[in-house]
């Protein structure tokens, strides 16, 4: 009798465990959408909505920058800019810079050194060969494939895009005017419906004379500015 009771109790435990396992397996087969319900709007659609549009809106701007790879001069750039986007992704720009050049600390330190040339009584100072920049005029195509929104401390939404530029330039130096190829990348932050703040890095490639030999020159510039969209 006791053995029969023991077998009956064991059978009930086996039936209970089998039922729990079956329920767990059925629970894993449930669709998450059936539990939470389906969203009426796709998250991708929300990300693609645009608050700021710039298609066929003429843009005027001011810029200030500097040349970053000159060892013996400190070169500041002041410029104006005009641009027009044909759609939200592709546009064209024209900009012109004037340069303000002064000697760097390294060049002033060199000029303070004195030495006498061999077999010559003249005392001179070392002075490196430089080719100071005078002006830049750019015509570029703009590709702006990345657009997004930045959340600043849950207090302010800032709209932004990242863009690439490529084109041609006319660079004027102490050696005259030269044609240059331009490559660049930048970011724009939009403020209200008409204002934007820009940060740009550009590389202008051209040829100049060094030690009576022609060599390739890369002029790296970093500039930032403000732009106003008409209409």
Q: In the predicted model, what is the mean pLDDT of residues 131-151?
A: 93
CATH of the structural domain 54-103+131-229, one choice from 1.10.600.10, 2.40.160.20, 1.20.1630.10, 2.40.50.140 = 2.40.160.20
Specify the range with the lowest mean pLDDT, choosing from 4-18, 91-105, 132-146: 4-18
Helix (H) or strand (E) holding 18: helix 2-28
CA distance 153 to 4: 71
Q: Is residue 168 a contact partner of residue 181, using CB atoms and an 8 Å limit?
A: yes
> Is a pLDDT exceeding 90 seen at residue 77?
yes
Q: Is residue 46 a contact partner of residue 198, using CB atoms and an 8 Å limit?
A: no
- Counted residue by residue, the chain has a size of 231
> Is a pLDDT exceeding 60 seen at residue 42?
no
Higher pLDDT, 227 or 112: 227
pTM: 0.72
> Is a pLDDT exceeding 70 seen at residue 75?
yes
Q: Is residue 180 a contact partner of residue 206, using CB atoms and an 8 Å limit?
A: yes
Q: In the predicted model, what is the mean pLDDT of residues 207-231?
A: 91
Give per-residue pLDDT as tens, 149-188.
888 777 888 889 999 999 999 999 999 999 999 999 999 9
Q: In the predicted model, what is the mean pLDDT of residues 11-36?
A: 50
């Amino acid at each position: 009798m006791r053995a029969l009771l023991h077998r009956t109790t064991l059978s009930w435990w086996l039936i209970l465990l089998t039922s729990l396992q079956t329920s767990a397996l059925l629970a894993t087969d449930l669709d998450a959408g059936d539990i939470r319900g389906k969203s009426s709007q796709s998250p991708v659609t929300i990300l693609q909505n645009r608050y700021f549009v710039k298609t066929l809106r003429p843009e005027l701007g001011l810029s200030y920058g500097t040349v970053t790879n000159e060892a013996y001069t400190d070169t500041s750039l002041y410029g104006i800019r005009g641009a027009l986007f044909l759609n939200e992704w592709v546009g064209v720009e024209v900009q012109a810079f004037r340069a303000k050049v002064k000697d760097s600390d390294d060049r002033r330190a060199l000029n303070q050194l004195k030495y006498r040339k061999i077999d010559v009584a003249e005392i001179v100072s070392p002075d490196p060969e430089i080719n100071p920049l005078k002006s830049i005029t750019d015509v570029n195509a703009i590709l702006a494939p990345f657009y997004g929104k930045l959340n600043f401390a849950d207090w302010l939404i800032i709209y932004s895009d990242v863009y690439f530029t490529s084109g041609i330039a006319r660079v004027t130096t102490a050696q005259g005017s030269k044609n240059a190829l331009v490559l660049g990348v930048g970011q724009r932050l939009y403020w209200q419906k008409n204002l934007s703040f820009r940060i740009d890095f550009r590389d202008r490639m051209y040829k100049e004379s060094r030690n009576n030999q022609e060599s390739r020159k890369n002029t790296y510039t970093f500039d930032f500015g403000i732009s106003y969209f008409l209409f």
